[in-house]
């Protein structure tokens, strides 16, 4: 009996779905408009792909979903939880209270239950102060019934998580096992304010994640599908529903990540630059050993500075539906607005009244699509310049993402990738794989399970080699806990950064292990 899996990925314009068999062959692929509530579009895409594949529904074993629910909730400030913000670190850190520097509208939603507690650690693991457990018990009583989620951040918890763990025990003891707790050491890295912000945002979207998961499971059941559901996270690996509800923030930016993973799978390239041309934007990312390279900078999310791991993606405002404006003097402007999924009604080649990037490519004969006669009257000379600029925008972005001047393979994916030529500056080769239009949904379906750690180590204690091995082993253990097959694990990412002005060879190490789902 053949088993199947569904992969779904929500983009800004389209929600894509694929059905794969157990050898990852594509049985069916569909595109569906992304709906305003996101969920309706997901269910629609799911039903369409099930119908198109005509596989027996009882043989669909897994369903992988990469969604934008959590990002949207933060950006729109809607459906957020009532959060208690607990910072452990006093007397240190009082000079900048939690949520200072966060936009006022968000601060007024999330800043109503803020507590500063004595405790926390130094960079080398010594105590700043004993943890004030009595105060934590008092806080737990105070917030009972007033909040539905708790964010706990302790100073230097990436070095020692003791105080966050102890605080979590106290809250569970008083408020029950069910109370959702977000612990900062599991979410972000060194940089208190950014990590705390990420933890607060995580706590704020716990319910959004739960409703999304429940809704998806119900929608599958309605179709008679009893698949195990996984969510895509932004490092290209999967989370169980239980894990997703605890760490919903890790789903943010999983879309571009899925495209990268899908591109890697479809081309069997482990190291390449991936260009994903959608309806509104082009996202450019870098594959390193089959996984997306991560950003090392603080990332803004809904106006909030955070530092949880994110794929290093640069977006430019160029997609299939990007609106092109040409003035009488021949000057022109490319976007940034787009007709999005209304391309089939708005663009000239489909009988609409708006000149889009797709029309330009068709008029110049780069692509066969729609009715080329409708764009035949346009001034080719100007269009050539527009096209040259479009390609230039992508080439510049590719160059910015490279780490050296050497040429690298470039993989084109996404519905709009047909617009781009077969040769690009800085590319050793340009590859457009089969099924590239739904590479993101394929990436979602084939995801692996991973474990990651990021900690500061004193290299002079164990020596460099042993410390690095210890860090890798910690990452492997995390992956096994997440459900990976222990025999097929490998280290997919490793980075060590020496820290300036500190003794003991203090080094920040990040390690990630990944592997396929364990069979049982």
Residue 193 binding another protein, by CB under 8 A: yes
What is the strand order of the sheet 149-154 is part of? 114-118, 83-90, 149-154, 181-183
Looking at 325-333, 429-437, 492-500, 510-518, which segment touches another protein (CB under 8 A)?
492-500
Would you state the structure tokens that stand for residue 117, as one six-digit string? 């507690």
Distance CA 430, CA 194 (A): 38
Residues in the chain: 520
- What φ, ψ does residue 149 adopt, rounded to 5°? -165, 145
Q: Is residue 394 within the footprint of another protein (CB under 8 A)?
A: no
CB closer to another protein, 91 vs 463: 91
Smallest gap from residue 295 Cβ to another protein (A)? 11
The helix/strand/coil state of 242 is helix
Using alpha carbons, list the distances in angstroms from residue 137 to 61, 150, 216, 287, 493. Answer: 44, 14, 37, 47, 40
Q: How far is Cα 239 from Cα 517, in angstroms, rounded to an integer?
A: 11
Asked if 500 touches another protein (CB under 8 A), the answer is: yes
Tell the smallest beta-carbon distance from residue 120 to another protein (Å). 7
Query: Minimum distance between the CB of residue 135 and another protein, rounded to whole angstroms?
Result: 17
State which of positions 269-308 bind another protein (CB under 8 A). 297
Tokens representing 289? 């050993």
Contact 417, 436 (CB under 8 A): yes
What residues pair up with 413 in beta bridges, in sequence order?
276
Q: Which of 27, 52, 364, 499 binds another protein (CB under 8 A)?
A: 499
Q: Which is nearer to another protein, 156 or 243 (CB)?
A: 156
The nearer residue to another protein, 153 or 452, going by C-beta atoms, is 153
The whole-angstrom separation of Cα 136 and Cα 88 is 10
122 binds another protein (CB under 8 A): yes
Asked if 91 touches another protein (CB under 8 A), the answer is: yes
Burial classification of residue 145, based on how many CB atoms lie within 10 Å of its CB (0-12 exposed, 13-18 middle, 19 or more buried): exposed
The answer to whether 187 contacts another protein (rule: CB under 8 A) is no
Q: How far is the CB of 194 from another protein (least distance, A)?
A: 8
- State how far the Cα of 203 lies from the Cα of 182, in Å rounded to an integer: 6
Q: Name the segment binding another protein (CB under 8 A); options: 231-239, 352-360, 400-408, 431-439.
A: 400-408
Subset of 401-430 contacting another protein (CB under 8 A) = 401-405
Phi, psi of 165, deg, nearest 5: -65, -45
Coil, helix or strand at residue 430: strand
In terms of CB distance, is 42 or 159 closer to another protein? 159
Among positions 27, 57, 114, 129, the unique one binding another protein when judged by CB under 8 A: 129
| Residue 128 binds another protein, judged by CB under 8 A | yes
According to the binding rule CB under 8 A, does residue 90 interact with another protein? yes
The answer to whether 110 contacts another protein (rule: CB under 8 A) is no
- Check binding of 479 to another protein (CB under 8 A): no
- Per-residue DSSP letter, 34: P
Shortest distance, CB of residue 112 to another protein, whole angstroms?
A: 17
Interface residues with another protein (CB under 8 A) are: 89-97, 100-101, 120, 122-124, 126, 128-129, 155-156, 190-193, 297, 399-405, 498-503
């Amino acid at each position: 009996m053949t088993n199947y899996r569904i992969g779904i990925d929500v983009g800004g314009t389209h929600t894509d779905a694929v059905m794969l068999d157990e050898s990852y062959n594509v049985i069916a692929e569909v595109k569906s408009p992304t709906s305003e509530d996101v969920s309706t579009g997901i269910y629609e895409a799911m039903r369409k792909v099930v119908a198109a594949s005509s596989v027996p529904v009882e043989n669909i074993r897994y369903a992988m979903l990469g969604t934008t629910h959590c990002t949207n909730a933060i950006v729109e400030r809607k459906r957020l939880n009532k959060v208690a913000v607990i910072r452990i670190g006093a007397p240190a850190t009082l000079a900048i209270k939690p949520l200072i520097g966060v936009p006022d509208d968000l601060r007024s939603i999330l800043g109503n239950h803020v507590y500063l507690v004595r405790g926390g650690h130094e960079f080398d693991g010594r105590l700043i102060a004993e943890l004030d457990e009595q105060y934590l018990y008092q806080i737990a009583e105070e917030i009972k019934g007033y909040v539905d989620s708790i964010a706990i951040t302790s100073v230097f918890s990436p070095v020692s998580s003791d105080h966050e763990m102890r605080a979590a025990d106290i809250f569970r003891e008083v408020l029950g096992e069910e109370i959702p707790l977000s612990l900062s050491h599991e979410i972000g890295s060194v940089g208190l304010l950014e990590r705390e912000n990420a933890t607060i945002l995580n706590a704020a979207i716990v319910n959004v994640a739960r409703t999304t998961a429940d809704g998806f499971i119900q929608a599958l059941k309605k179709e008679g599908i009893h698949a195990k559901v996984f969510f895509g996270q932004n490092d290209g690996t999967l989370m169980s529903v239980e894990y997703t509800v605890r760490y919903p923030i890790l789903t943010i930016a999983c879309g571009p990540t899925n495209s990268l993973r899908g591109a890697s799978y479809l081309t069997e390239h482990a190291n390449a630059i991936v260009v994903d041309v959608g309806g509104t934007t082009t996202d450019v990312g870098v594959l390193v050993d089959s996984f997306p390279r991560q950003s090392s900078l603080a990332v803004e999310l809904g106006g909030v500075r955070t530092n949880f791991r994110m794929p290093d993606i640069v977006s430019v405002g160029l997609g299939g539906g990007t609106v092109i404006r040409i003035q009488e003097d021949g000057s022109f402007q490319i976007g940034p607005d787009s007709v999005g999924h209304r391309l089939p009604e708005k663009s000239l080649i489909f009988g609409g009244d708006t000149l889009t990037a797709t029309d330009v490519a068709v008029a110049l004969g780069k692509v066969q699509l729609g009715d080329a006669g409708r764009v035949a009257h346009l001034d080719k000379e100007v269009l050539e310049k527009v096209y040259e600029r479009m390609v230039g925008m992508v080439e510049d972005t590719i160059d910015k993402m490279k780490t050296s001047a050497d040429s690298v393979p470039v993989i084109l994916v996404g519905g709009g990738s047909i617009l781009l030529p077969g040769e690009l500056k800085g590319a050793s080769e340009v590859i457009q794989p089969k099924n590239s239009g739904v590479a993101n949904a394929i990436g979602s379906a084939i995801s692996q399970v991973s474990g990651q750690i990021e900690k500061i180590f004193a290299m002079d204690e164990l020596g460099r080699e042993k410390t690095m091995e210890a860090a890798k082993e910690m990452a492997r253990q995390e992956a096994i806990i997440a459900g990976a097959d222990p025999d097929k694990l490998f280290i997919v990412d490793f980075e060590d950064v020496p820290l300036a002005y500190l003794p003991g060879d203090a080094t920040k190490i990040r390690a990630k292990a990944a592997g396929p789902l364990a069979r049982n």
